[in-house]
Amino acid sequence: MTKRLVRLVNIASAGGVVGVLNSAPYSAAKGDIVALTRQVAVDFARNGLRVNAVSLGFTDTGMFRQDTTTESSRMQHSRHRWVGSVAVKR
């Protein structure tokens, strides 16, 4: 009998890896998903289970810009840092 390969993909967030201003509960929850993904990958790799997490960041939309430009300069700095960290710069 052929061993069946199983894949599990969790949806996390960049906020689970680096902090997001005024978003402690969100970042903590997404950080838990990242940690759980790593642990399940270690525990079940020998059984053929592949586990990954897709960590999305901000999407630079009009609503995102409006929310961050009406906030403090610290939030604006966070937005520029996030957008600057994206490989395609958009």
CA 77 to chain centre: 19
76 in active site: no
Q: Answer left, alpha or beta for residue 62, where phi above 0 means left and psi between -120 and 50 means alpha.
A: alpha
Of 11, 19, 24, 26, which is the active-site residue? Answer: 26
Q: Which residue has the tokens 């969100």?
A: 26
Catalytic residue positions, numbered:
26
